[in-house]
Structure 1
Amino acid sequence: MLVSTSWFFIAAIIAVLVAPRIEQVEPGLGVWKYVAGVVFAVMLYLSVLLHEASHAHMARHYGYPVTSITLHFLGGMTAIEGESRTARQELVIAVVGPLTSLLVGAAALAAWFVVPEGLLQVAIEGLAGANLLVGVLNLVPGLPLDGGRVLKAVVWGATGNMHRGTMVAGWGGRIIALLILSWPLFQNDVLGVPPSFVDYLLVVVLALFLWAGASASMHQAQVRRRLPALDARRLARRSVTVAEGLPLAQAVRLAQEAQAGSIVTLGPDGRPSGIVSEAALLATPVERRPWVPVSSVARSLEDGLALSAGIAGEELVRAISHTPAQEYLLLDADGAVYGVLSTVDVDRAFREAAH
């Protein structure tokens, strides 16, 4: 779990905002009323953590790795690796968070009637109101809110098109952002309450957050739409395998005769040990190539540089992002060398898929 520095800022604001209510219930606390306010902020964010933990639990239930849970000034964020495989999984992972907040709010509301009057009742009161509000607002149908993911899942399930679901939910988030900007007008003309500077600041921050989050989700959807074009087998370069000690000139000649675009070195045990770097090969003068072993321009096969030849799409992107390199060895299921994948070819295929 991570806590951003912005959380401490919002905790201080919460402490200041609830201090008058605490003073009303327990007069004469002095500076301790702010300490009590910070304690309430911690309690509130523990309920936010429970909201995010429910997302994480359900994601892990479906087999998706969860890398982190971050608490920030607008709530929390759960980082889940990969895209949901089905609309149902997307719906369940998304809706469980708001339902958790509503349950916490309902439980706190029930407890309010039985706890004695005083600071504890004030804390329970705030916890109930905040969680019920968070639960309802998170169900608003627009990304990046959980309700946006619910809308995405519904459209996805109805049309069978995940991309369309994301775009609809993204536009939903943008429309909600514009509606939020109009809140001060509604507050003034309909409710008859003149908006303050804080009201304007709050709606701008919330609108920017929603617009940016919705736009980012739509951009990611456009990117993911291109991922099926990234197929390792289709992009693989033919390779030749040579012994590590073979002179570089001879290895290059063998590759040219086989019309191969890459060279893989084999160790004494006959297993792949390295991939010849194209950049290092071109940097080696032709007159020196008969005298240097091919292993001198090969990169050792470290963890993450040998991939399954069947890897494709988002899984391929995650693999090369986790271990950045210029070339990767592709192996068949039986361990045989299939070829070499160059990130140059991956980038080119990704750009071509955009047109």
Structure 2
Amino acid sequence: MASPRTRGIPLGRVLGARVVLAPSTLIMAVVLAALYGTTYSSDGFSSDGAILGLVVAVALFVSIFLHELAHAVAARGFKREVHEIVLTFFGGHTQFRASDPRPVEIGVIAASGPLANAVIGAVAMALAGTLDGLPGAVTRYIALLNFFLAGFNALPGTPLDGGRVVNAIVWGVSGDRWKGHRWAAQGGRIVAIATVLAALGIPLLLGSSPDLVAVIWAVFLFSVIWPAASAELRAASVLARRERVTAVAVSRTAVGVPYDATVEEARASAHAAGAAEVVVLAADGQPAGHFPVALTDEVPPEARPTTSLMSVTMPLVRGAVIPADAVGEGLVEAVVPWVGKTDAVAVMGPDGPVGVALLDDVVRALQ
């Protein structure tokens, strides 16, 4: 299925992925130009300051692009198809095919972004030492920007790259995918709170007043990080429970009998297998109907040896079966095609039917 396209200004393709610039990034460039233009010099608005602001804005988004490009390169290294690289007002994201992920892939792809910024920052800082004036100032800003991007994105919490590394490590060590997500989400909540506390607390500890701009940025980051971390925590809890749901657990035990059997024969087979349901098999061995064994109690005992199963059978939609070993997301994928088409499916083991699952029961269990 094709991935949805992000709206924005298309910048071309890299590694087969669309590169998209969100229009809000242009606002950032103007804001930085105005900010540097008015603060670069004590004499008021400075054209050098405005130029510096624009250069810093461009450098910021180039650095973000290289950060996301590193993610894309790492993903391609693991044979993942990369769909989009999106640059936004407050960062970016790289969208790639992530089915059947492995911890090592998640960790390496996540770590590649901050690592790229750290390398760029080190190179820029070394280069800045050889330059004077405005070029030197710009290069130092580029170095500091990349160090900031590397350090902040490496913080151990969702939705930052460091959170994905935490997820990968916990998942790899424990073998529990959703435990990794929960740890990363809790880390994200801690990072969100720490960001605000740092903006307020550090200046107070140093005997000065908190900087208004720093506080605004901290509140903004909190408003992004906390909801994302909380959403992942909720999703991880739900999906962890879902992953423990099996087809057999949500079905009623059943035994298969041929369509030409009698009620008496069906009852005998069910009692021998300890089954609560009977699945009626068509001539080709495929499930064609089902009924609860208790329903046959309504057939008089003297009539059971000669009564056909047609009198008690409820039809099953042709092909409405799910594998007995379906679990978690595999169970979801097996059941979804039958929602709205039938009220029950046969649960099939290697030797035939082992259960009958009512879709209402399955849906409740997966929720």
Common fold by TM > 0.5: yes
Quote the residue 1:91 is aligned against. 107
**Partner Cα separation in structure 1 for residue 329 and residue 122 of structure 2:** 40
* Per-residue deviation, 1:29: 9.5
Structure 2 match to 1:136: 151
Matched letter for residue 169 of structure 1: A
Does the CA-based 8 Å contact 1:15-1:34 persist in structure 2? yes
Deviation at 1:130, TM superposition (A): 0.6
Amino acid at match of 1:16: A
AA matched with 2:103: A
Shift of 1:229: 4.5
Which residue in the other structure is 2:202 paired with?
187
- Cα distance in 1 for partners of 2:98, 2:363 equals 18
RMSD of equivalent CA atoms:
4.2
Q: Distance in 2 between matches of 1:229 and 1:184?
A: 45
SS for the counterpart of 1:63 is coil
Instruction: Find the aligned partners of 1:198 and 1:138 in 2 and give their Cα distance.
Output: 20
Displacement after TM superposition at 1:128 (Å): 0.3
Residue 262 of structure 1 aligns to a residue in which SS? coil
* Matched-pair identity in %: 30
Deviation, structure 1 residue 47 = 1.2
* Equivalences for residues 75-90 of structure 1 within 5 A: 75-82=91-98, 85-90=101-106
In 1, are the aligned partners of 2:38 and 2:46 still within 8 Å (CA)? no
Q: Tell me the equivalent position of 2:117.
A: 101
SS of structure 2 residue aligned to 1:192: coil
Query: How far did residue 220 of structure 1 move?
Result: 3.0
User: How many angstroms apart in 2 are the aligned matches of 1:72 and 1:83?
Assistant: 25
Q: Of 250, 262, 275, which residue of structure 1 is paired with 2:317? A: 262
User: Helix, strand or coil for the counterpart of 1:76?
Assistant: strand
- Please tell me whether residue 37 in structure 1 is matched to residue 50 in structure 2: no
For 1:219 and 1:154, the matched residues in 2 are separated by 20
Which residue matches 1:47? 63
Tell me what 2:33 maps to.
15
Change (3 A) 1:137 1:2: same
Offset of residue 122 of structure 1? 2.1
The equivalent residue for 1:352 is: 365
Relative to structure 1, is the Cα distance of residues 316 and 17 closer, same or farther in structure 2, using a 3 angstrom cutoff?
farther
Residue equivalent to 2:84: 68
How many angstroms does 1:100 deviate by?
A: 0.4
Match of 2:230 in 1: 215
Aligned pairs (5 A) from 1:108-123 = 108-114=124-130, 116-123=131-138
**What's the offset of the Cα at 1:144?**
1.0
| Cα distance change of structure 1 residues 136 and 263 upon mapping to structure 2, 3 Å threshold | same
Distance 1:54 1:216 in 2: 26
**CA separation in 1, counterparts of 2:233 and 2:280?**
37
SS of structure 1 residue aligned to 2:62: helix
Match of 1:58 among 70, 74, 94: 74
- Of the candidates 171, 182, 194, which is equivalent to residue 186 of structure 2? 171
* Distance in structure 2 (CA, Å) of the matches to 1:43 and 1:71: 13
Q: State the partner residue of 1:162.
A: 177
Task: Kindly provide the CA deviation profile for residues 94-127 of structure 1, in whole angstroms up to 9, marking residues without a partner as x.
Answer: 111110010010111111122x323322221111
The secondary structure found in structure 2 opposite 1:121 is helix
Q: Which moved more, 1:127-136 or 1:33-42?
A: 33-42
CA 165–16 in structure 1, closer or farther in 2 if over 3 Å, else same: same
Deviates more, 1:182-191 or 1:95-104: 182-191
Q: Secondary structure at the residue paired with 1:141? A: coil
> How many matched pairs?
281
Aligned position for 2:140? 125
Is the contact between residue 227 and residue 350 of structure 1 (CA under 8 Å) also seen in structure 2? Answer: no
- TM-score, normalised with respect to structure 2: 0.62
Deviation at 1:314, TM superposition (A): 4.9
Output the CA distance in 2 between the equivalents of 1:37 and 1:320.
Answer: 55
Rounded Cα–Cα distance in structure 2 between residues aligned with 1:28 and 1:184? 27
Is 1:224 the counterpart of 2:239? The answer is: yes
* Structure 1, unaligned runs of 5 or more: 241-254, 265-307, 329-343
* Residue type at the aligned position of 2:212: F
- Structure 1 residues 189 and 36: CA distance shift in structure 2, 3 A: closer
- Quote how far apart the aligned CAs of 1:37 are: 2.3
Would the aligned equivalents of 1:239 and 1:263 in 2 still touch at CA under 8 Å? no
Indicate which of 162, 167, 171 corresponds to 1:152.
167
Structure of greater Rg: 2
**Whole-Å separation in 1 of the counterparts to 2:332 and 2:126:** 48
Q: For 1:156 and 1:188, how far apart are their aligned partners in 2?
A: 38
SS state at 2:209 partner? coil
Paired amino acid for 2:25: W
Check the 8 A contact 1:171/1:214 in 2, yes or no: yes
Listed as ranges, the gaps of 5+ residues in structure 2 are 1-18, 252-278, 283-309, 343-357
TM-score (norm 1): 0.64
How far does residue 164 in structure 1 lie from its aligned partner after superposition?
Answer: 0.8
